[in-house]
Amino acid sequence: MITFHLNGINKAMQDLLDYTTVIEQKMKTLLVRLMNEGYDIASAGFTNALYSGHNDVYVLPAFWSGDKLMLVANGKAVAFIEFGTGTYYPDYPADAKPDGVLNHGEYGKHKGADPPWIYLGEAGNHGAVLRHNKDGRDTVITNGDPPARAMYEASKVLDREHIIAVAKEVFND
């Protein structure tokens, strides 16, 4: 014969609810730790990127949107810096090209394969000023910029070994 006591079942249910709350909090702590590391990497990647123009990119600190933790880069130059522009850097050899990376000129309208171009604006840290104009804008020549891959590099924080190491720290507290 098995005997159940209501108090024992209620206590077990409360213990299970408490444990679930602790696990949820530790999962959020794990995600925040990993995302903060990604933030540091992405911010440095955008800040230090070679770019012919005004680098207006900034990365927002990680924030929750519902049940998702988001890392967002803002600025007009995000795509140009993340993916690169132009023909300046050599293409990857077929056997060394990372997955998902296109050689210059392979994306969109293939304008990146065109010869160097000249524009009016800021030279940034990678363009060359041909002349200073009376209107305050410089005439700049560029061969393009290499991809910074700032967000991509930030996502690589999520490799299995690193997640396991951080998870052990968080869950063993």
28-73 residue pLDDT tens? 999 999 999 999 999 999 999 999 999 999 999 999 999 999 999 9
Q: Is residue 1 part of a domain?
A: no
Strand partners of residue 63: 70
Burial class (CB in 10 A: 0-12, 13-18, 19+), 53: buried
> How far is residue 8 from each of residues 17, 20, 21, 136, measured CA to CA in Å?
14, 18, 20, 79
What's the one-letter identity of residue 130? L
Q: How far apart (Å, rounded) are the C-alpha atoms in residues 105 and 103?
A: 6
Q: Is residue 53 part of a domain?
A: yes
140-171 residue pLDDT tens? 998 888 889 999 999 887 788 888 999 999 99
89 has pLDDT over 60: no
Q: Is residue 91 part of a domain?
A: yes
77-88 residue pLDDT tens? 999 999 888 655
pTM: 0.73
Q: Is residue 160 part of a domain?
A: yes
Number of domains within the chain: 1
* Residue-number span of the structural domain to which 51 is assigned: 6-171
Q: Is residue 158 part of a domain?
A: yes
111 has pLDDT over 70: no
